[in-house]
Homo-oligomer: A and B are copies of this chain.
Amino acid sequence: MASDWAQEREWYRQMVLIRRFEEKCVELYSYEKIRGFLHLYIGQEAVAVGVMNALAAEDGVLASYREHGHALARGVSAKSIMAEMYGKLEGCSRGRGGSMHLFDASSRFYGGSAIVAGGLPLAVGMALADKMMKRNRVTVAFFGDGAVAEGEFHESLNLAALWQLPILFVCENNLYAMGTALRYTESETNLASKAAAYRLSAHQVDGMDIIGVAKAATEAVAAIRAGNGPVFLECLTYRFRAHSMFDAELYREKSEVETWKHKDPLLVLQKRLEESGQWEKIGADGIEKEVAAIIAEAVEFAENGTLEPLEDLEKFVYSPEVSA
């Protein structure tokens, strides 16, 4: 691994992009440029970036409402995401989805789902379609620890394991579902072992360490592509920010947050690279500049975007008429 610093530079760059992009979002939210719910991924970047790294272009990705990071890591452009959050027609969902509903057909990014666990059955169906059509594709579904309690989680894991579908379940265990700690929601707090009860391959990995995440994801995707059925990957992570913009964070100690900040995925990767003497090669300053430019461009793009005409409100409730 250590020899390939270009790879690690790219990871670092993507994580910085997500971090700075979201920091910008907070600012824009305070200016009321962005509205609705805004769930930040800050702290969890290593998961999305590490997992996406393992995927091919034809694979499919589904995520939750906390999905800016996933969309960016999957290659959805910062411009179209920012325009989306501005509610502009140029947004990746025409401004109809906002922060919680990013969609992008070209990168096979299937959302952006705001019903907790509601995307999991869809992922099962996508994988089922691939298996039926004998396409060698993988579907990845990202979700939180909170999703594990939902019936839809259970039904999806059973179906995936029963039918041996090519699907990677990525559970981002950040210890809280909104303000409810995992110990108040699960009788078994080791989610990987819970998943293993469905007879699928299940692993736990340090979600703050991108190298570990990338390795686990690569192995998982290889196993899935080889036809060995679904894999469940629990990534132990933490969100540094509040659940959304409306959260007094009464449910956790500041000190807990601080402790986790020592495991900041940017820091962890930096340390790893320093240890192997590659940190300098990465050119962190250059990355920051590069990223700042992307974000500035995204904001400008969003600012200059247009609003969907009101007449189009009912467009796409149903598919446009196709002339037979």
Contacts and interface: CB of A to CB of B under 8 A. Distances in A.
A277 B184 CA distance: 54
Interface residues of A, number: 23
A194 B199 CA distance: 9
Interface string A141-181: 00000000111111101100110000000000000000000
A150 B197 CA distance: 15
Nearest to A188: B199
Interface in A11-35: none
28 contacts: A149-B154, A149-B155, A149-B158, A150-B151, A150-B155, A151-B151, A151-B152, A151-B153, A151-B154, A151-B155, A153-B154, A154-B154, A154-B155, A157-B187, A161-B187, A161-B188, A162-B184, A162-B185, A162-B186, A162-B187, A187-B199, A187-B200, A188-B198, A193-B197, A194-B197, A194-B198, A196-B197, A197-B197
A154 B151 CA distance: 6
Contact of A187 (B150, B158, B187, B193): B158
A151 B184 CA distance: 19
Interface of A: 149-155, 157-158, 161-162, 184-188, 193-194, 196-200
A16 to B, nearest CB: 38
Contacts of A186: 158, 162
Contacts of A157: 187
Q: Which 7 A-B pairs have the closest CB atoms?
A: A151-B151, A197-B197, A154-B154, A161-B187, A162-B187, A187-B199, A188-B199
Nearest to A229: B187
Contacts of A193: 197
A162 B189 CA distance: 10
Give the interface centre of A149, A162, A186, A187 by most chain B CB atoms within 10 Å: A187
Nearest to A154: B154
A39 B176 CA distance: 44
Contacts of A158: 149, 185-187
